[in-house]
Amino acid sequence: MGMMDLFLKEKMAPEFAGIIKWFNTNPLTMKKLAGKVVLIDFWTYTCINCIRTLPFVKRMHEKYVKNGLAVIGVHSPEFDIEKSPHNVQKAISEMGIKYPVALDSGMQTWAAFENQYWPAKYLINADGMIIYRHFGEGGEAETEQAIQGALGIEAPLESAPKRNYSFLMSHETYAGSSRSEGLGSSVVCEPKYAKGGKASDSKGANVRGGGSENAHGVRSTGAASADNEECNRHVDNGDHVRDTIYLDGYWRQREECVELLSGKGSGKFSFRFIAREVNMVIEPHEAQTAKVSIEIKGKKEESDLPLSDAKLYNVFKTGDYAEGELTITFPKPASVFALTFG
């Protein structure tokens, strides 16, 4: 759930900064918007919380544009894939966004507003003052009332979606090393060269320990320690705890993601969760169809997941919270950035 900023001190809205591209409009400035009421929505296209609030933002644009409201989406990326104008343009088209969107790839406008959240809404009155802020999901009624107050009108409020989240629900989990809590699979380090200068086979491999433990006592894989070793082969023994990523195959952990390596065959990505839905940020390196397996209470369901774009994919959805085991088999190289739940 989100929160309204109860400690807001009204101040002048800063100018847009570092915008590398505008969508659905010619370049805008706060000066050009003077005299208008402006709703700024900080978002990014793989953020499930942002996606859930987009219907409300789009409705505010449709409902109040005739009254002088200017809705501006500021797309401030969480991952490098979201800095691509091509990817953002495709997301805007697929999501049906008609209002102006600024691509803030360098996070300069984000910094100018001193923002810290996705999504975040800032309401600016006709005098250019920030008069209201809301962070996260929810707060539709309060936000719309603030918009009406700034416009000097009254109208029936839109109905807010019902939200019912369980405290047992799995938390957002990042795959990259910068925010990872550790991988559950073991890493096998394979010598590049055996004695005599010939490449060694896998019989000379050894499983490396080390690393750090996450909250479940699972040890992270640690980093490759020697120049003559390749420590990218992951082995999953099938014994899983909740909220921990398990890999099988040849994967490399990068700062933002885990990457299934080219020329090394298929790879598996497994995760045990509690949720009604599971979403994953995936970048396929080439178009492919991954195999999704979900096991709940001993019952396994399998499905195909076509992958073509770098975006958020829904891989599981049901009506009630359930504890399940997710396994995705990627036949071709791909990168996985994060899992989010609902």
pLDDT digits over 291-337, tens only?
999 999 999 999 999 999 999 999 999 989 999 999 999 999 999 99
| Together in a domain, 302 and 180 | yes
Q: Is residue 322 part of a domain?
A: yes
- CB atoms under 10 Å from CB of 63, counted, come to 15
| Together in a domain, 138 and 272 | no
Q: Is residue 323 part of a domain?
A: yes
Domain count, the chain: 2
Domain that holds residue 17: 3-151
- Beta partners for residue 39, in sequence order: 71, 123
| Together in a domain, 91 and 178 | no
- The Cα–Cα gap between 283 and 265 comes to 17
| Together in a domain, 140 and 180 | no
Q: Is residue 158 part of a domain?
A: no
- The Cα–Cα gap between 94 and 312 comes to 12
| Together in a domain, 83 and 145 | yes
Q: Give the lowest-confidence range in 6-15, 112-121, 199-208.
A: 199-208
The string of pLDDT tens digits covering residues 283-293 is: 999 999 999 99
Q: Is residue 212 part of a domain?
A: no
Specify the pLDDT at position 289.
98
The answer, yes or no, to whether residue 217 has pLDDT greater than 90, is no
| Together in a domain, 259 and 329 | yes
Q: Is residue 205 part of a domain?
A: no
CATH of the domain at 241: 2.60.120.260
The string of pLDDT tens digits covering residues 21-47 is: 999 999 999 999 999 999 999 999 999
- What would the DSSP string read from start to end of 18-57? S--EEESSS---TTTTTTSEEEEEEE-TT-HHHHHHHHHH
Parallel, antiparallel or unpaired: strands 69-75 and 101-103? parallel
| Together in a domain, 136 and 11 | yes
Q: Is residue 77 part of a domain?
A: yes
The string of pLDDT tens digits covering residues 108-131 is: 999 999 999 999 999 999 999 999
Q: Give the type of residue at 123.
A: L
CATH of the domain at 87: 3.40.30.10
| Together in a domain, 114 and 178 | no
Q: Is residue 209 part of a domain?
A: no
| Together in a domain, 85 and 137 | yes
The answer, yes or no, to whether residue 132 has pLDDT greater than 90, is yes
